[in-house]
Amino acid sequence: MRFVDEVEVIVSSGKGGDGCVSFRREAHVPRGGPDGGDGGRGGNVIFVASSGRNTLVDFRWRRIHRASDGQGGMGNQRFGAAAEDLVLEVPVGTLIYDRATGELEADLAEKDSTFTIPGGRGGRGNVWFKTSTPQTPTYAEPGEPGQERELRLELKLLADVGLLGYPNAGKSTLISRISAAKPKIADYPFTTLVPNLGVVSLSPGNSFVVADIPGLIEGASEGKGLGHQFLRHLERCKLLLHLVSPDQPDADPVHCWRVLQGELAKYDEALLHREQIVVLTKIDVLDPELRAAAIDGLEKACGEKVWAISAVSGEGVQELVWEMWKRVRPDEVR
């Protein structure tokens, strides 16, 4: 399925049904009086956050969504039927903005959370307007119009851990090893074109979600490369896992780490204050002396422990997984 994380849509709730103008007409009941019923409510448009969806692609191909109108009132004080609501499922983590003002209307960050655009109220029938003076009102209320809204939907993935790094830093290999996710893996840059989500399960009932963000390069915050499109998905992550590869052709691990920290700051400085783990990857290709030098250099640059792993051989991976678990689920660590 194609990954789409931003779309613009037009939605319209239903018009309320018109009230009815009617008079009672029965044998042996002279001057029966008004008996027009009310119109039914127009259909609501309801956005629902569903765990069964992870992309907004359906809205890319169908941009206009309209709910049905309510039924008009009828004689004998019969009410028109309310229209069915139009339910639109979106992924958990969808933000809904007013397209014209840019104002945030709703943040559907939890499963089954909703945002409703109400349908129009049904009009009152002429039975409501009978008084001692106008005993035979020949008018009724029209139904209220529905609301037409132009909205922008933006998806920010909900993940506990976000993996970031240069292209070919080993993010996809790591997520494929620790979860059931099967991203494309190859020995050329930008094999990951969209974010991938993986669930890391330590034991029944104990799990967390990891997001693999497409590789970032210098200038990503200004639109270079691919990853800049998906930096927003890091905003909801509790923990950022910064993967640094020792085999970048043009730079050493410390330079790569500093460049991407700078890109995070340019995009949103708050990300620099998000908890991070720095990881040296692909240690299976380094001899012990070069490995020690790379770890030492990174630790001096970032001022904290650097974890060293090989997602291919599995060395250091389980220890890293437990460290991620402790950081994102501190209350559940025993």
List CB contacts of 268: < 8 A, sequence separation 6 or more: 231, 235
Give the integer Cα–Cα distance in Å for 77 and 39: 10
Give the total number of structural domains in the chain. Answer: 2
Q: Both 20 and 61 in a single domain? A: yes
- Work out the pLDDT band at 45, boundaries 50, 70, 90: very high
How buried is 107 (Cβ within 10 angstroms: 0-12 exposed, 13-18 middle, 19+ buried)?
A: middle
- How confident is the model over 90-111, as a mean pLDDT? 92
Q: Both 166 and 315 in a single domain? A: yes
133 SS3 class: coil
CA distances from 33 to 38, 72, 122, 139 (A): 16, 20, 22, 13
Give the integer Cα–Cα distance in Å for 141 and 192: 58
Phi then psi for 195, rounded to 5 degrees? -65, 145
Give the integer Cα–Cα distance in Å for 63 and 60: 6
Q: Both 63 and 80 in a single domain? A: yes
The answer to whether 42 touches 144, Cβ cutoff 8 Å, is: yes
The answer to whether 174 touches 243, Cβ cutoff 8 Å, is: yes
The per-residue pLDDT for 189 is 40
At which residue do the structure tokens 């085999």 appear? 247
Show which of 97, 126, 155 is a domain's final residue: 155
pLDDT > 90: what percent of the chain? 43
The answer to whether 167 touches 243, Cβ cutoff 8 Å, is: no
The per-residue pLDDT for 192 is 43
Q: Both 88 and 214 in a single domain? A: no
Kindly report the CATH number assigned to the domain that includes residue 40: 2.70.210.12
Q: Both 144 and 214 in a single domain? A: no
The pTM score is: 0.71
Predicted confidence (pLDDT) per residue in 114-134, tens digit: 999 999 999 999 988 988 788
- Asked whether residue 296 carries a pLDDT value surpassing 80, the answer given is yes
Please give the residue range of the domain that contains residue 100. 6-155
Q: Both 74 and 128 in a single domain? A: yes
The per-residue pLDDT for 226 is 47
Predicted confidence (pLDDT) per residue in 48-80, tens digit: 999 888 788 889 889 999 999 999 999 988 999
Show which of 123, 155, 187 is a domain's final residue: 155
The answer to whether 144 touches 153, Cβ cutoff 8 Å, is: no
Predicted confidence (pLDDT) per residue in 224-243, tens digit: 444 455 677 788 888 999 99
**54 in a domain, yes or no?**
yes
Q: Both 274 and 174 in a single domain? A: yes
Q: Both 223 and 143 in a single domain? A: no
The per-residue pLDDT for 61 is 85
Q: Both 194 and 176 in a single domain? A: yes
The per-residue pLDDT for 30 is 67
- How confident is the model over 180-206, as a mean pLDDT? 61
**200 in a domain, yes or no?**
yes
**1 in a domain, yes or no?**
no
Show which of 101, 124, 155 is a domain's final residue: 155
Q: Both 45 and 132 in a single domain? A: yes
Q: Both 187 and 303 in a single domain? A: yes
Q: Enter the tokens of residue 72.
A: 């008009």
List CB contacts of 320: < 8 A, sequence separation 6 or more: 277, 279, 307, 309
Q: Both 278 and 132 in a single domain? A: no
